[in-house]
Amino acid sequence: MKFAKCFLLCVLGFILSLVGNQAFSQPANFWQQTNGPYGGVVSSFAIDSNGNIFAGIFGGGIFRSTDNGGSWTAANTGLTFTFVYSLAINSSGNIFAGTSVGGIFLSTNGGNSWAAANNGLPANSRVYSLAVNSMGHIFAGTLNSGVFRSTDNGGNWTAVNNGLTNNVIYSLFINANGDIFAGTNNGGIFRSIDNGNSWTAINTGLTSLVVYSLVINSSGHIFAGTLFGGVFRSTNNGGNWTAVNSGLPTNSPIYSLAINLNGHILAGTFLNGVFRSTDNGNSWTAVNTGLMNTTVLVLAINSSGHIFAGTNGSGVFRSTDNGNNWTATGFTLTTINTFAFNSNRHVFAGSSGGVFRSTDRGSRWAAVNTGLTNTFVLSLAINSNGHVFAGISSSGVFRSTNNGDNWSATGLTVTTVYALGINSTGLFAGTSGGVFRSTDNGDNWATANTGLGNNRVVVFAINNSTGHIFAGAQGGRIFRSTDNGNSWTPIDIGLANLNVYSLAINSEGHVFAGTSLGVFRSLDNGASWSVSSTGLTNTIVLALAINSKGHIFAGTSGGGVFRSKNNGGIWSADSVNFGLTNPRVISLALDASGFLYAGTSGSGAFRTVESTTAVREREHATEIPLAFELAQNYPNPFNPSTTIKYELPQRVEVKLEIYDLMGRRVRTLVNQRQQAGRYAITWDGRNEQGQQVASGTFIYQLRAETFVQTRRMALVR
């Protein structure tokens, strides 16, 4: 028996090793999603009767947590539009999701699968708000089409807009009497007392008519969060409104409101975090300890009084002590605006949730935001001393001299910095007011705008061989400086006033511009431009990168990544999108080894599986990996099988195991000594006994001598 068991293990190990070695000889993923950075634009919450939390993500679909926000799993099967604005759950547990241009989706099985429920809605409806009354009638607030009602669980929808003079509905709320309140864009608040059949404006005392949020307490008092007027309160069912803003920042937009079991009111603001009122709105106090992103789009409170804050880029934060302290919970759904690499091969990602750093090519990311006063990072650059510079929205440039561990403001403050560039003489910052230059490591800045006019500079490219600096500005303007920024000359003949989003220069000095109509190329240092977009089916090019082979990569707004191997003559996406699950690529960057990183809108960072300069892409590479690495499985979530890849820099004993969330081992995939190299193992969703396991979240762990790494994956049957 013992011999038979050993024989079976040896056979299994041999088969698995064959699977690992063969995987790269077959068509495989060009990309793998890195393990972060954490974040995500969270636009909506819903909590069911079992305490399960659903989060609507702008660009990431819907995620579900069954452990009070401790962990999250994508619940997107059948959801064909992943920009989710609103969520609501009826008494039967049916979940409704309002999307951008996809209308409404319905799940009748706790989010396991979704189906479109749009009969009667206008085509391509954008649904900003949802509410359900005590009769189970569902109300949907839309962009430009007003309010729709369904009395048959989303089967059919009917417009109910009589008296509704503004058709952009940001918020809906229903009180205990069934009265419906609608917050609009510039029309204030409307009320219906007859189930939506007719509406009346109720704006007496309401001085700000853009209403983002509505909430009603147990006494029937209504609170409205507005664009520039703060919070308003009505104690007579909307008959009159009074501003209640003592302690709130002046003119701060109030995106979200929530009320806990004690009647305390929580307000989520733009750039100022969360405020709490314990006296019915008469006074407010900031409660932001631990809240790393201070733009809070949505708030929700569960039956235990735990508060969940959905942020503009940093995912979900949770407070278990009424807002006094906050802890981040994990999504890998942040928007990555920029990358930078230092000489130690550390990767820095600037995101909507701050700066993240990885020392192992994205296997692990850590937030490095200490000292940053604003975490919306638009640009990064690293000088020859290893100092890292971050361009921030509305806050200028910050500098770190210790690899991102701490940050301090430089001499350029208050302005938004869209682009950063570094040459041998100093640092350049592209802003809404043109270009600023610093020659003393950021301590002092001076304008360098001669010839630029009043242009917003959003991207730089520097030709290191000639020293010429190229600046891309809004409105299709490209400028060139041949004297280190002292003066600029427009060089946009042939660009036809297109928006310029990205610039790149190859080793021959050819300049490429990513625009709103594809890629343009200049072979004469910018003197003239011609379109270079053959094969580019998505015309908006947001990012460009060129590797040492001269291959050009273009990140687009909805078509993923394209590559040209012939200097921009022809572009193709046939092989360079495998594994890229988000087609909106905002940033591209290459490290010193030729690995390409892609920053997406709402899905974090991706990295190529192999170096883009490898002789045989997507095949088993001959070079030895630099470090141990366990990749995120793909696909994830999966059904019925998924592939797990890992890298070994040396010959070691390897154990790859799968566990459930209770810590019980489900399956051992690898348990043997392996040579240095890259491996791919497929798990078929079965346990050690060959039985199919149920849907759920699982942990897989790689052990290789002292190296231990774990990741999560989700099986959805």
Which CATH number do you get for residue 684? 2.60.40.4070
Residue 179 domain flag = no
Confidence band, pLDDT 50/70/90 cuts, at residue 307? very high
Q: What is the pLDDT of residue 151?
A: 97
Average pLDDT taken over every residue of the chain: 88
Average pLDDT value for residue range 679-704? 87
Reduced to 3 states (helix: H, G, I; strand: E, B; else coil), residue 168 is: coil
Whole-number Å distance between alpha carbons of 337 and 604 = 10
Whole-number Å distance between alpha carbons of 492 and 498 = 10
Residues constituting the chain? 717
The closest of 333, 389, 330, 378 to 354, measured between CA atoms, is 378
Whole-number Å distance between alpha carbons of 106 and 127 = 13
Confidence band, pLDDT 50/70/90 cuts, at residue 12? very low
Q: Are 318 and 326 in contact (CB under 8 A)?
A: yes
φ, ψ for residue 292, nearest 5 deg: -80, -15
User: Measured at the alpha carbon of residue 541, what is the angle toward residues 540 and 545, in degrees to the nearest 5?
Assistant: 175
Choice between 196 and 664, residue whose per-residue pLDDT is larger: 196
Q: Are 383 and 421 in contact (CB under 8 A)?
A: no
In the predicted model, is pLDDT for residue 24 greater than 70?
Answer: no
Average pLDDT value for residue range 464-472? 91
In the predicted model, is pLDDT for residue 80 greater than 90?
Answer: no
Q: Are 370 and 358 in contact (CB under 8 A)?
A: no
| Beta carbons within 8 Å of 706's beta carbon, 6+ residues apart | none
Confidence band, pLDDT 50/70/90 cuts, at residue 496? low
Give the percent of the chain with pLDDT over 70: 93
Q: What is the pLDDT of residue 512?
A: 95
In the predicted model, is pLDDT for residue 194 greater than 90?
Answer: yes
Average pLDDT value for residue range 673-698? 86
In the predicted model, is pLDDT for residue 141 greater than 50?
Answer: yes
- Tokens representing 490 are 């427009």
Chain-centre distance for alpha carbon 271: 17
In the predicted model, is pLDDT for residue 643 greater than 90?
Answer: no
Confidence band, pLDDT 50/70/90 cuts, at residue 441? very high
Q: What is the pLDDT of residue 39?
A: 67
Give the percent of the chain with pLDDT over 90: 58
Q: What total number of domains does the chain contain? A: 1
DSSP class of residue 152 equals S
Residue 617 domain flag = no
Residue 699 domain flag = yes
Q: What is the pLDDT of residue 695?
A: 86
Q: Render the burial of 563-580: b for 16+ CB within 10 Å, e for the rest.
A: bbeebbeebebeebbbbb
| Beta carbons within 8 Å of 316's beta carbon, 6+ residues apart | 40, 42, 55, 69, 72, 308, 309, 310, 328, 329, 331
Does the reported pTM lie above 0.85? no
Average pLDDT value for residue range 198-215? 97
Phi-psi region of 78 (alpha: psi -120 to 50; beta: other; left: phi over 0): left
Choice between 351 and 153, residue whose per-residue pLDDT is larger: 153
Q: What is the pLDDT of residue 6?
A: 36
Confidence band, pLDDT 50/70/90 cuts, at residue 372? confident
Average pLDDT value for residue range 28-48? 83
- Give the highest mean pLDDT range of 5-9, 269-273, 635-639: 269-273
DSSP sequence for 198-218: --EE--TT----BEEEEEE-T
Tokens 């009826």 belong to 90
Residue 670 domain flag = yes
Q: For residue range 526-553, what is the model confidence (pLDDT) as tens digits?
A: 888 889 888 887 679 999 999 998 999 9
Average pLDDT value for residue range 93-101? 94
- Give the highest mean pLDDT range of 40-44, 170-174, 308-312: 170-174
Whole-number Å distance between alpha carbons of 206 and 597 = 48
Q: What is the pLDDT of residue 623?
A: 55
One-letter amino acid identity for 495? L
Confidence band, pLDDT 50/70/90 cuts, at residue 199? very high
Residue 216 domain flag = no
Q: What is the pLDDT of residue 478?
A: 92
In the predicted model, is pLDDT for residue 265 greater than 90?
Answer: yes
One-letter amino acid identity for 412? L
Tokens 């981040």 belong to 328
Confidence band, pLDDT 50/70/90 cuts, at residue 9? very low
Q: Are 40 and 57 in contact (CB under 8 A)?
A: yes
The closest of 540, 577, 570 to 556, measured between CA atoms, is 540
Confidence band, pLDDT 50/70/90 cuts, at residue 498? confident
Whole-number Å distance between alpha carbons of 206 and 580 = 47
In the predicted model, is pLDDT for residue 8 greater than 60?
Answer: no
In the predicted model, is pLDDT for residue 605 greater than 50?
Answer: yes
Whole-number Å distance between alpha carbons of 288 and 448 = 38
Sheet (strand 189-192) strand order: 169-174, 180-184, 189-192, 200-201
Whole-number Å distance between alpha carbons of 148 and 169 = 11
Choice between 615 and 127, residue whose per-residue pLDDT is larger: 127
Reduced to 3 states (helix: H, G, I; strand: E, B; else coil), residue 439 is: coil
Q: What is the pLDDT of residue 712?
A: 86
Start-to-end CA span in the chain (Å)? 35
In the predicted model, is pLDDT for residue 385 greater than 60?
Answer: yes
Q: What is the pLDDT of residue 108?
A: 96
Q: Are 284 and 30 in contact (CB under 8 A)?
A: no
Q: Are 387 and 398 in contact (CB under 8 A)?
A: no
Q: Are 154 and 138 in contact (CB under 8 A)?
A: yes
Q: What is the pLDDT of residue 702?
A: 92
Q: What is the pLDDT of residue 383?
A: 94
In the predicted model, is pLDDT for residue 560 greater than 50?
Answer: yes
Domain range spanning residue 654?
A: 2-28+626-715
Residue 302 domain flag = no
Q: For residue range 404-422, what is the model confidence (pLDDT) as tens digits?
A: 999 999 999 878 999 999 9
One-letter amino acid identity for 184? T
**Parallel, antiparallel or unpaired: strands 642-648 and 629-630:** antiparallel
φ, ψ for residue 361, nearest 5 deg: 60, 35
Number of H helices, E strands in the chain: 1, 62
Q: What is the pLDDT of residue 107?
A: 96
Residue 338 domain flag = no
Q: What is the pLDDT of residue 538?
A: 67
56-60, 179-183, 435-439, 568-572: which has the minimum mean pLDDT? 56-60
DSSP class of residue 395 equals T
Average pLDDT value for residue range 286-311? 91
Residue 651 vs residues 228, 539, 628, 657, 673: alpha-carbon distances, Å: 62, 47, 11, 19, 7
Q: Render the burial of 253-281: b for 16+ CB within 10 Å, e for the rest.
A: bbbbbbbbeeebbbbbbbbbbbbbbeebb
Q: Are 553 and 545 in contact (CB under 8 A)?
A: yes
User: Measured at the alpha carbon of residue 687, what is the angle toward residues 686 and 693, in degrees to the nearest 5?
Assistant: 60
Q: What is the pLDDT of residue 154?
A: 96
Secondary structure element (H or E) that encloses residue 312, with its range: strand 307-313
- Tokens representing 411 are 């001499």
Q: What is the pLDDT of residue 122?
A: 94
Whole-number Å distance between alpha carbons of 160 and 194 = 11
Residue 368 domain flag = no
